A and B are shown apart, each in its own frame.
Chain A
Amino acid sequence: MRGLFSVLLLALVSAVSAVSSTGGRLLVVLEEHSEREKYGVFFGDLEARGFHLTIESPKSESLSLFKHGERAYDHTILLPGKSKGLGPALTANTLLDFMKKEGNILIALSSDHAIPTSIHSTLLELDIHIPSDKGALVVDHFNHDSNKAAEKHDVLLLPFPQALKPNVKNYFAGEGLIAVPQAVGQTLGNESPLLAPILRAPNTAYSYNPKDEADIVEDPFAVGSQLNLVSAMQAHNSARLTVVGSAEMLQNAWFAEKATLAGKAVKTANRDFAARLTEWTFKETGVVKVGKLIHYQDEGVSKKMNTSLAIPEHNPTIYRIKSDVNFQIEISEYSQDRLAPFLPAPGDHVQLEFSMLSPFHRLNLSPISQTANSTIFGVSFKTPDQHGIFNFRVNYRRPFLTSIEEKRQVTVRHFAHDEWPRSWQISGAWVWIGGIWVTVAGFVAFVAVWLYSAPTEKSVKKTQ
């Protein structure tokens, strides 16, 4: 008994220490073992959060992202190295396969190092573009650290990013300034909704190649806020890939460094930002999970909606047209190490579609109650006056949040013969109903007259 208890306790403890919602096996690809010290604090922070780090060189024979066809690691960090290629274990195809199996990747670039072709083509595949020439970096004559980059202006000092849009949750907020040294800028393709910028360059920044002899920038790769310093891609299966333009910003040297912005002494908050970045990339934040999904007919006894999770998920399979239906869904959000109630950003709504081919209803779900680790969203509506096979569909896709796609199929039948209003309830029918009863009365009267009428003088005369 005691042994069983300790095993249970051990399982519980190990479950608690694995912070990410998808697992803690983290592969760090770093070419120079000596460079490990430079990222010491970064690695230490990750280990403290419960990740199990495996640091491998891309040249290592044993390096493989897969084992027996399954992911060998849950997350990968690719740090820049000296060599131009990453070897057979880390081709663009394997990286994409890793993402197809829901592995998360953090790619750090550096303008000091050549960008391996496999990373180049992976990013190109995802419609993230980086300058093709080696050494291109982002400079800004307005927001640079005048301590370390007084002449070159290539260490940008930026505030933490604002929310992408007012109705998008910001998982990267913080206090202080982020130093972005020698960054490789990225631009994002306009077509894909899966791409999102995390940290944009300030609007006076531009990307140029210091190896260009010209002393004026003539054809910059990208300019201003179209240039991203950190960008993200979240695939349809919610696998995440983050591109960090500057690997140096993850190094100890910049984690809490004194810097000067426009004559004012500041301290860089890169450690915080690195934590925010890895938390998001490795699915410690921005992960939403659906619990119970209930729909039921409003019997009209009480128009109040059920707000508890006590009723089981036995959903009816058939409804009648024009009947009142209540729908509710339980959503929680994974926040660092536990599930918390999920609430969308202000101005954003989780929406329910009641659809047959196309939505007949698309309704905003409102939070109706909260439990310790979930929010119950609900809405009530009337089924449309169209019979057929319908779906309750919640398709919630937002930047930086894993996607929710829930579907419940129901039949919507039309009125049964005894569910229509009776004819006397229809005022227009009264004339016809009156006609029938007049006929009945006339018939009965005729029978009586035919049976019991005595002949009169007049009629006797007539028959003669």
Chain B
Amino acid sequence: MKLLQPFVSTLLLVGSGVVSAASSWGFDDATVTVQAKGAGVGAGTKEKLSPNTPLSKSVSLGATDTLKLLLTAVDGKKAKRPHQAFLTLTDPTTGLEESFVLNVKESGKGKVDLTHKDLPVQFLTSTKPIVASIVIGSFGSSTPYNSKAFELDIARDANVPLAIPEKPLRYAVENEIHHVFRQDPQSPSKMITIVFAVGVLAAVPVLLGAWATLGANANHLGKAMGAAPLSHALFVGSILAMEGIFFMYYTSWNLFQTLPAAAVVGVVAFLSGSRALTEVQERRLAGLR
């Protein structure tokens, strides 16, 4: 019995249309016509609709066309005027719905006209065909009818711009933003740098070589050291020390460490320099330079 139950209920569901056929809503003689603007009566495409199966091919609606849906609402077998007779369009992607009321006469004959102007903009921009279903229902005990009738393909003229209203503000999560950092400064490839740096460093031996060919030497070193050893040692030493101070300033010292040291070394260079240069002058006067 338990096994049978779902089976029975599906039977009931299927049968509900048949069993209560005497009191269920439906329609007859339904046609959907798409007529181009200016075309004569009967010039457009015409399709017959059946209440049980939706139309196999979709109906195309152009920008200037008019879609006309005609049907006769029936309660059981008898034509009757229902309270509710809607053509409901549903966007399959967003689920947006819009219903159009059929103008139904006493005799149950109903009709509705549809053009692009009647459709909300979301339907016009939809990429998938729009599902059109017919809803017929009324008060009392008759089973109402709601079934897909056909698919509507909206053909839009690409040249005509569409006034799409701006999306209203809704509170929801927003897209992440990651700051795009400016590019770090770039250095040329190290190979190039090294080649040029070696070129620059090579200037020292070139210079010394050039001086050597011109006859530069240090032959008087012994003579000078003999004449004024202290002042020469201090003078050359203070010049080297000054370069050392510059090196320390470049690498780690601040100005307040550099200046006192430079002052001390400067005084030493001045005092010892005047003695050392006097010795040089004496050599010159002696005709040795």
Chain A residues engaging chain B, CB cutoff 8 angstroms:
139, 141-142, 146, 150-153, 165, 167-168, 190-193, 203-204, 206, 208, 215-220, 223-226, 322, 347-349, 351, 353-354, 359-364, 382, 384-385, 397-399, 426-431, 434-435, 438, 440-442, 444-445, 447-449, 451-456, 458-459
Contacts and interface: CB of A to CB of B under 8 A. Distances in A.
B160 interface: no
Interface string B143-180: 01010000000000000000000001111111111110
A215 B81 contact: yes
Contacts of A225: 97
Given A360-B179, A444-B239, A141 B219 contact: no
Contact of A444 (B168, B169, B240, B289): B240
Contact of A224 (B97, B188, B197, B236): B97
Residue with the greatest number of chain A CB neighbours at <10 A, chosen from B177, B187, B208, B240? B177
B288 interface: yes
B211 A449 contact: yes
Contacts, number: 176
B256 interface: no
Interface in B34-89: 81-86, 88
Contacts of B208: 445
Contacts of B173: 167, 347-349, 351, 364
B217 A206 contact: no
B182 A141 contact: no
B99 interface: yes
Please tell me the size bucket of the interface on B. Answer: 35 or more
B133 to A, nearest CB: 10
A213 to B, nearest CB: 12
Contact of A449 (B103, B197, B204, B216): B216
Contacts of A165: 172
B117 interface: no
B172 A454 contact: no
Contacts of A434: 197, 200-201
Contacts of B197: 430-431, 434
Greatest chain B CB density within 10 A among A146, A165, A430 is at A430
Given A153-B139, A219-B101, A448-B218, A438 B239 contact: no
List of 7 A-B pairs having minimum Cβ-Cβ separation, nearest first: A141-B137, A456-B215, A428-B187, A454-B219, A362-B177, A141-B144, A384-B179
B193 interface: yes
Contacts of A438: 200-201, 203-204
B265 interface: no
B288 A455 contact: yes
